[in-house]
Structure 1
Amino acid sequence: MRQRHRAWADDFLRNNTNLVIPEPEKQKGHWRELFARDLPIHLEIGTGKGQFINGMAERHPDVNFIGIELAKSIIVMAGSKIKNSGRTNALLIHADASDLTELFAENEIASIYLNFSDPWPKKRHAKRRLTFHTFLQQYQHILQPGGEMTLKTDNQGLFEYSLVSFSSFGLELKDVFLDLHDANDPENVMTEYEEKFAAQGQPIYCCRAQFT
């Protein structure tokens, strides 16, 4: 999908380097030092317009959050939300998440969220799915022992593939929801996509898995 150009994006990134961290690979192993308080770090891969990370940061002041987003026109919208909220427990990275071990040290992250990732439905593109085993290896490296992953998607094919991928890799499936909203989980914070799909009656698939 083509992203809308935002003329103010470059200025926002240039003027908010305390929020959208430049040269993030230089912070590897030192992310906790950038936050106001030394707290566990949760990572959202593909943070979109920031509704989820901003909501989670509000709900969980005892956690520090980092969101990664590649699209410049979108990450500045997430940055604006966080900046306007005045919260100090959320930071952003404008980067490709293809190699997380370049950005984070071993055991640096406590939890990972994959929200409405690109399903890459064609078999020949399976290695691009964020639940492919090469990505799981990265997650295992940067997560603390016993670290958890949460996957949310509207795509049944990606969900089924991910359950098999998780199990094959040796993760323990903690929770599996065929429609998260039927479960009425009071802790759920919706993304923009989630609100859209739920309003259309689309089931929201969710899984929480833990590295053992």
Structure 2
Amino acid sequence: MRVRHKPWAKEKIDQYPQYVVANPEQYKGKWHEVFGNNHPLHIEVGTGKGQFMTEMAKANPGINYMGIELYDSVIITALDRLIEADLPNLRLLNVNANDLAKYFAKNDVDQVYLNFSDPWPKGRHEKRRLTYKDFLKLYEEIMVDGGEIHFKTDNQGLFEYSLMSFSKYGLLLKYVSLDFHNSEYEGNIMTEYEEKFSEKGHRIYRCEVKYPN
């Protein structure tokens, strides 16, 4: 994905610390203070423009959501959505996913969403895939025992790789669909990429995996 630089984005992000959490490391182990409750916390790694997280937060007020996005020129659109919706159970983090353990402690997170992540198809880039074993270890370090990863992609190669990576790591497969939009699953909330790719006729793959208790 080529990101168009928006030089004003960082300044706007800094104006809304109530939505894009500033100094998130100070809330490690105590995110309940940000949300004002002890509801489960679900995070999306690579939240992009924020459509998925915004709609999930609207649909599930009893769950807290956190959208994590590295690029300020992308997360600014998610911020605009959140400003308009003013959802008490959604916050954003403008940070690198490699650093999740700096901001979340063990048991902080109940569920991780990986939606249409960069497939990094070249073998030498395997370690950058968000379903690579090192990332699976990182998620485990911040999640509750039995926490789940929900994964969606239109990339068959990445999906096959991810299923193998999950299996090798010892994750338990709860759900898998090789043609998700033609499945009987109800209540799906689409991302921007999901809408774009499905309109082009791309098959959508989805799975849910669980860490052992």
Do they fold alike, i.e. is TM over 0.5?
yes
Aligned: 1:94 with 2:94: yes
Give the 5 Å matches for 1:191-206. Answer: 191-206=191-206
**TM norm structure 2:** 0.96
Report SS of the residue matched to 1:18.
coil
Partners of 1:207 and 1:10 in 2: how far apart?
Answer: 34
In structure 2, how many angstroms separate the alpha carbons of the residues matched to 1:34 and 1:207? 30
- 1:111 touches 1:148 (CA, 8 Å); kept in 2? yes
| Cα distance, 1:7 vs structure 2 | 4.7
Q: Which amino acid aligns with 1:158?
A: L
CA-CA distance at 1:184 after TM superposition: 4.2
Are 2:5 and 1:19 aligned? no
- Look up the SS of the partner of 2:182 in the other structure: coil
Deviation of 1:203 after TM superposition, in Å, equals: 0.5
Q: Percent identity?
A: 49
1:83 and 2:61 matched:
no
Q: Which amino acid in 1 is paired with 2:106?
A: E
What amino acid does structure 2 have at the position aligned with 1:71? Y
Structure 2 residues not aligned, in runs of 5+: none
When normalised by structure 1's length, the TM-score is 0.96
1:130 match: 130
Question: What residue number does 1:183 align with?
Answer: 183
Q: CA-to-partner distance for each residue in 1:74-124, whole Å, 9 max, x for gaps?
A: 111101101101211000000100132111001110000000111111111
Instruction: State the shift of 1:137 in Å.
Output: 0.6
Partner of 1:108: 108
Whether the 8 Å contact between 1:3 and 1:73 is mirrored in structure 2 is yes
Counterpart in the other structure of 2:5: 5
Q: Which amino acid aligns with 1:80?
A: D
Displacement, 1:198?
0.4
Counterpart amino acid of residue 175 in structure 1: Y
Contact 1:36–1:88 under 8 Å retained in 2: no
Q: Displacement, 1:41? A: 0.3
What residue number does 1:33 align with? 33
Aligned residue pairs, count: 212
Q: CA deviation at 1:25?
A: 1.9
Moved more, 51-60 or 31-40: 31-40
Shift of 1:146: 0.8
Q: Which residue of 2 aligns with 1:70?
A: 70
